[in-house]
Amino acid sequence: MEEGKKKTEWAKLEIWQQRLADSNAEYSGEYTRMDQREQIYNGSNVIKPMVPGDTKRDGGPRKTSHVRNIVFENIETQVSSTIPQPKVTARRKEDEKLAEIIENFLRNELDRLPFEDINDLAERTVPIQGGVAFLVEWDNRTRTHDTVGTEVVRMLHPKQLAPQPGIYTGVEDMDWIIVKIPTTKGAILREYGIKLEDESESEPDVRSSNGESTAEDAVTRYVGYEKNEKGGINRYCWVNDTPLEDLEDYQARRQPVCKECGRVKPLPGQLVQRRVERTASEEEVLRQEIAGQMLAHQMASDAMGGAGGLNGLPVEPGEPEEPVEYDGGPCPWCGCEKFTGEVQEYEQVMLPVTTQKGLEIPGATPDLDEEGRPVLRPTLIPFYKPGVFPIVLQRSVSVYGKLLGNSDVDVIEDQQNTINRLEQKIIDRLIKAGTRITLPDNASLRIDSNDNERWYIGSAADKAMIGVYDFKGDLEYELLYMSNVYEEARQILGITDSFQGRTDTTATSGKAKQFSAAQAAGRLESKRVMKNKAYSDLFRMMFEFWLAYGDEPRPVTFKDAQGHTQYQEFNRYDFLERDQDGQYYWNDQFLFSVDTTGSLANNREAMWQETRQNLQTGAFGDPTSMETLILFWTKMEELHYPGAGATKQALEDRMRRQLETAQAQTQASVPARVANMTQGNSGKMQIQVGEGGMM
């Protein structure tokens, strides 16, 4: 039995190793090209031969002593620090509140996760290599006092991907894909409990582009994802010839279950309740007292500590002990030391839950099993499974027949090489320029600053051979051609002077400069569209992972229209629905996109200026009105203008004092007006008796 299991493990390892070998063979040239692109971006000084004989004497490539890195310049021009913001649209009107919660929750996640670092690295890798990938994972080891697990997003360099050969339309169209993750032996031991003392790093090149050497404590962990027949995703991990993990349908819920009593193994540090034995007569009395909902409440904490089988939880009569902390080891209920990992298709709800939309999910209810023994029947709801590869691909510019997009380095590499060659030629000409003196062969003359020095020249012919020549080194044509090559590279990428913030002689007015910049923006629009598309897919995947694994409610903060901080809660049960047949299902029908106004909203100075103009033009109302000024400073506080909150509070206090003063004056003037009216009419007042008559 054990031998057959090992054969199966070795067979599966060989399958994945063969897949890795096939992918590396298919993309080996692309991996080499990736390193070359990184070197060109970093300023490689190697010159490709441009004319016959343009090499060293030994046939090797020449090098330039000066590099004007136009590849770096043009790529850095396109870098944007703006992180796309989520926009979630509900398909149904009743889901608009949920869509708002998802959107605010994703914004909080962007602040929690290191997206500043991820975006900064991706903004350079995408134009250099033509694309990057994002890996979404759930880390169940990250725990707080009241939460278990959190979501992790990391960026993958294209060198870390080993895709299925021949599939270029997208990751989701593949049957399998492998991710190469550089890690350490200590990390493998902490995560999998496996020691890799004799293993070495198989692919150190995935750590950088400079031909890294093998590190002693580093290893390359391979994570393979494949689609199974049921529509789920399998995951297989290994290092060299050592299997680490083999999970069928890895996105399904798995829990260690006691082989004896069938209860789920508690987490270390979790409080559990056990029961003491009673006599037979006491047990009989207690059995007669379990008719009612009180039983569900009594057993809820015990069941939550270790939920039993799906057919019902047995009720064991007895007086509850004080909760004890589980510190690992055997089952705290039956003492069995053997646990098995089982896929849980359904979640057992023991306590009643009421969702935000008013859906009531009943908890465990008392019932009798087939033998007449009391049991608790938990409410069963299916676990949510994303069912997709946890990889999101961002392309630069889509190219037919390529998995990644078009690389900016590839399209202007020739221009960079030409400029490198011209730079070296210019340097050579400038260094060789200067003053040259011609002398006869037999002359021995001193050339220094001494005056009245005597020169003895043998003949007039020798004297005629003495001359001074100045070599200035004319660079007119070289500089002109180099300027044309530089402009050619910019035009290929669609970058203008206005887009770079340089002096643009073709634009003679502010409107002309805006139009020129807009033209460049239009030619680069495809890259922004592909980035927004990737982030839209990423936002959907992040939501799906939280829907699948985020058991506990998570707090959400956002700013309302008045600029005040508001608090919400992301609870996955709010997305649970029940159809007409009483079956539970998860509502994930939301449209995910990117807020296109995010770039303007992130430019605070521009927004401040726009808000001031709105105040001056009367868009908020009368600029001298107190209500208008409060509204203006509320908007400025939303845009994080320094001191805006204090200014708004001062105006609100002033307005409140003015209202209090006005009310006090009004109340004080009422008795005086009544007295004046009485005295003026000598105590005779007209009484209205009809629409037009007085009495």
Which of these, 385, 339, 383, lies nearest to 235 by C-alpha position?
A: 385
Residue 548: which H helix or E strand, with range? helix 525-549
Quick one: pLDDT at residue 591? 96
Half-sphere exposure of 113 (CA within 13 A, CB side): 24
3-class SS of residue 375: strand
The mean pLDDT value for 302-327 works out to 51
User: Is the per-residue pLDDT at 295 higher than 90?
Assistant: no
For the purposes of burial, counting CB atoms within 10 Å of the CB of 464, is it exposed (0-12), middle (13-18) or buried (19 or more)?
Answer: exposed
Integer Cα distance of 554 and 147 in angstroms: 8
* Tokens, residue 504: 């643009």
203-207, 523-527, 687-691: range with lowest mean pLDDT? 687-691
pLDDT digit string, tens, across residues 333-389: 788 888 887 888 888 887 888 888 888 988 878 877 777 777 778 888 999 999 999
Alpha helices in 288-351 (DSSP H): 294-305
Quick one: pLDDT at residue 272? 62
Which of these, 568, 569, 567, 565, lies nearest to 638 by C-alpha position?
A: 565
* Tokens, residue 426: 């210019």
Integer Cα distance of 381 and 348 in angstroms: 7
Terminal Cα distance for the chain, rounded: 114
pLDDT digit string, tens, across residues 613-651: 888 888 888 888 888 888 888 888 877 788 888 898 888
Instruction: Look up the pTM and report it.
Output: 0.76
CA 346-261-268 angle, 5° bins: 75
Integer Cα distance of 111 and 534 in angstroms: 18
Residue 189: which H helix or E strand, with range? helix 185-192
How far, rounded to the nearest angstrom, does the alpha carbon of residue 128 sit from its chain's CA centroid? 20
Confidence band, pLDDT 50/70/90 cuts, at residue 430:
confident
Q: 161 and 225 in contact (C-beta within 8 Å)?
A: no
User: Is the per-residue pLDDT at 218 higher than 70?
Assistant: yes
The mean pLDDT value for 101-115 works out to 95
Which of these, 566, 539, 545, 565, lies nearest to 97 by C-alpha position?
A: 566
Highest mean predicted confidence (pLDDT) among 15-29, 142-156, 309-323: 15-29
Integer Cα distance of 501 and 499 in angstroms: 6
pLDDT digit string, tens, across residues 246-291: 999 999 988 788 888 777 777 665 556 554 444 444 444 444 443 3
Quick one: pLDDT at residue 40? 95
Q: 547 and 592 in contact (C-beta within 8 Å)?
A: no
Place of tokens 């509320």: 634
Which of these, 492, 488, 487, lies nearest to 502 by C-alpha position?
A: 487
Quick one: pLDDT at residue 5? 64
Integer Cα distance of 378 and 374 in angstroms: 13
φ and ψ at 340, to 5 degrees?
-130, 140
Integer Cα distance of 637 and 642 in angstroms: 8
pLDDT digit string, tens, across residues 480-522: 999 999 999 998 888 876 566 665 555 555 555 554 555 555 5
pLDDT, greater one: 88 or 146: 88
Quick one: pLDDT at residue 446? 62
Which of these, 40, 96, 28, lies nearest to 64 by C-alpha position?
A: 40
Amino acid 261 reads C
Quick one: pLDDT at residue 17? 96
DSSP state of 199: -
Quick one: pLDDT at residue 428? 85
165-179, 438-452, 463-477, 586-600: range with lowest mean pLDDT? 438-452
The mean pLDDT value for 86-90 works out to 95
Integer Cα distance of 51 and 427 in angstroms: 19
